[in-house]
């Protein structure tokens, strides 16, 4: 158990009045959680867990994260149910993944219970910031960064663990609009032995250029191929990706180059419950395009916390394009969306024990 010291803001910010215009990650609440790590401290070296008014950091120009990107993050949401409960979806999965990310980046880990306690304590304090509008949530962003003032390439001897909260709008303003996806055949996101499975800023820094190139061609996301043969599908932007081909569900295996999504594993469980065969194995982009042309590519969707599921209506690979279904969301994609959001917002009983209540609003 962390002994969290709370210092409240003297003056609270105005809450946004139009919850349909929140966007994503642009507004932040009144408070933030902080905890420090110093090698010179005893025990786990983590100390001083506290909640303070949201404020900027003051860091030295030689702060190591600015030079060598020793940083990891997480992303989850708090939901407001119809009966006024504020709740989280599988936060211990994020806590464990945070530990795995830390391990890969040589960052000292946070205990799973401490992570969940910190998130719950901050969300409860900020419960009035959890939006009421349909589909809107309080996005939770935990992160750790290296703070040592030194330019040598070593693990830092000090870190800051921080959690900030951002009320965010429904991902789909006008229903689940299917997106067009560009298959990236030159740049890669991950390769065996690298950091693909970790949620670290460096992975994203390296992906921005591809995103820009795809956008210039009118595509909203990039589909990454494996980093060795540029042949097998891996994931899309900040989502895992699923293909329904001739009745079976395919998604890339989490063997080091793919981010193990909480949404991904939840969707796999649901699909198996519903009797689908789910194949977590290599799937060649050539086979996907072939299925697109012979009519067996029934549905394609991305899966991640932000969008839950994101239906795909078009794939472009080199000079070939396939359209998926009739351009509308597929039946399975819709059912997954309804089930996942139903559980998250308490409209469907939580038979899987995926929900962690925080408080009554
Ligand atoms: C966060 C993330 C996902 C999705 O993970 P969820 O836990 O479902 O939100 C997928 N791919 C990448 C690269 C990510 O960073």
Residue 115 pLDDT level (bands cut at 50, 70, 90) = very high
Q: What is the pLDDT of residue 31?
A: 98
Flag whether the pTM goes above 0.95: yes
Residue nearest to atom 3 of ligand 1 (CA): 239
Ligand 1 atom at shortest distance from the alpha carbon of 263: 8
Is residue 175 pLDDT above 70, yes or no? Answer: no
Cα of 252 vs centre of ligand 1, distance in Å, is 13
At residue 228, the pLDDT reads: 97
The alpha helices in the chain, defined as continuous H runs, are: 64-68, 91-104, 112-125, 201-205, 208-216, 262-273, 285-294, 331-344
pLDDT digits (tens, 9 = 90+) for 8-23: 999 999 999 898 889 8
262 Cβ inside 6 Å of ligand 1? yes
Q: How far is CA 251 from CA 85, 94, 228, 278, 312, in A?
A: 34, 20, 18, 8, 14
- Percent of the chain at pLDDT > 90 equals 92
CB 130 within 8 A of CB 139: no
pLDDT tens string 22-36? 989 999 999 999 999
**Residue showing tokens 């079976």:** 248
Q: Is the CB of 259 under 6 A from ligand 1?
A: yes
Question: Has residue 42 got a pLDDT over 90?
Answer: no
Average pLDDT over residues 285-301: 97
Q: Which atom of ligand 1 is found nearest the CA of 235?
A: 11
Return the closest-CA partner of residue 69 out of 100, 107, 98, 115: 107
- Pocket probe for ligand 1: among 91, 199, 307, the residue whose CB has the most ligand atoms within 8 Å is 199
Query: Distance, CA 294 to ligand 1 centroid (Å)?
Result: 31
Is 307:172 a contact under the CB 8 Å cutoff? yes
pLDDT of residue 171 exceeding 80: no
Distance (Å) from CA 129 to ligand 1 centroid:
24
Q: pLDDT, tens digit, for every residue of 309-319?
A: 999 999 999 99
The DSSP secondary-structure symbol of 69 reads -
State how far the alpha carbon of 307 is from the alpha carbons of 7, 203, 271, 301, in Å. 34, 20, 18, 10
- Confidence grade of residue 361 (pLDDT, cut at 50, 70, 90): confident
Q: What angle do CA 299, 272, 222 make, to 5 degrees?
A: 35
Dist. CA 74 → ligand 1 center (Å): 9
At residue 326, the pLDDT reads: 86
Per-residue pLDDT reduced to its tens digit, 57-110: 999 999 999 999 999 999 999 999 999 999 999 999 999 999 999 999 999 999
25 φ/ψ sector (left φ>0, alpha ψ -120 to 50, else beta): left
Task: Report whether pLDDT(146) > 80.
Answer: yes
Architecture category of domain 179-328 in CATH? Alpha-Beta Barrel (3.20)
Confidence band of 174 (pLDDT split at 50, 70, 90):
low
- By alpha-carbon position, which residue is closest to atom 15 of ligand 1? 238
Mean residue pLDDT of the chain comes to: 95
173 band by pLDDT with thresholds 50, 70 and 90? low
Q: What fold does the segment set 5-168 form as a domain?
A: D-amino Acid Aminotransferase; Chain A, domain 1 (3.30.470)
Residue nearest to atom 14 of ligand 1 (CA): 238
Q: What is the reported pLDDT for 102?
A: 98
137-146 and 221-225: which strand pairing? unpaired
Q: Where are the domains of the chain?
A: 5-168, 179-328
pLDDT (tens digit, 9 = 90+) per residue, 181-222?
A: 999 999 999 999 999 999 999 999 999 999 999 999 999 999
In angstroms, the CA 191 to CA 197 distance is 10
Quote the CA–CA distance of 341 and 79 in Å, as a whole number.
Answer: 10
Give pLDDT, residue 172. 67
Q: 223 CB less than 6 Å from ligand 1?
A: no
Contact 263 CB / ligand 1 (< 6 Å): yes
- CA torsion sign, 277 to 280 to 284 to 286? positive
């Amino acid at each position: 158990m962390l002994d969290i010291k709370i210092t409240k803001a003297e003056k609270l910010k105005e809450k946004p009045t139009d919850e349909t215009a929140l966007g994503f990650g642009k507004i932040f609440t009144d408070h933030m959680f902080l905890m420090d790590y110093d090698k010179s401290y005893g025990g786990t070296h983590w100390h001083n867990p506290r909640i303070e008014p949201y404020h900027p950091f003051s860091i030295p120009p030689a702060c190591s994260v600015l030079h060598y990107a020793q940083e990891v993050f997480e992303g989850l949401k708090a939901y407001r149910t119809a009966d006024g409960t504020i709740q989280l979806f599988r936060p211990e999965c994020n806590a464990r993944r945070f530990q795995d990310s830390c391990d890969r980046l040589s960052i000292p880990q946070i205990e799973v219970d401490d992570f969940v306690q910190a998130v719950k304590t901050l969300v409860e304090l900020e419960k009035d910031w959890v939006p009421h509008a349909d589909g809107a949530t309080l996005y939770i962003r935990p992160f750790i960064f290296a703070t040592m003032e030194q330019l040598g390439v070593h693990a830092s001897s000090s870190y800051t663990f921080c959690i900030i909260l951002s009320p965010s709008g429904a991902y789909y303003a006008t229903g689940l609009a299917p997106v067009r996806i560009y298959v990236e055949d030159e740049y890669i996101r991950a390769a065996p032995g690298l950091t693909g499975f970790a949620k670290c800023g460096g992975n994203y820094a390296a992906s921005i250029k591809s995103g820009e190139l795809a956008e210039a061609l009118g595509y909203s996301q990039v589909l990454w191929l494996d980093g060795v043969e540029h042949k097998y599908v891996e994931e899309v932007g900040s989502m895992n990706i699923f293909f329904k081909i001739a009745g079976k569900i395919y998604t890339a295996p989490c063997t080091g180059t793919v981010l193990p999504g909480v949404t991904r594993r939840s969707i796999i469980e649901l699909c198996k419950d519903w009797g689908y065969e789910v194949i977590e194995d290599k799937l060649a982009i050539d086979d996907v395009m072939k299925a697109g042309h012979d009519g067996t590519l029934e549905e394609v969707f991305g899966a991640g916390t932000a969008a839950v599921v994101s239906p795909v209506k078009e794939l472009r690979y080199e000079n070939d394009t396939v359209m998926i279904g009739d351009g509308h969301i597929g039946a399975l994609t819709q059912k997954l969306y309804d089930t996942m959001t139903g559980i998250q917002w308490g409209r469907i009983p939580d038979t899987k024990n995926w929900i962690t209540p925080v408080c009554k609003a």
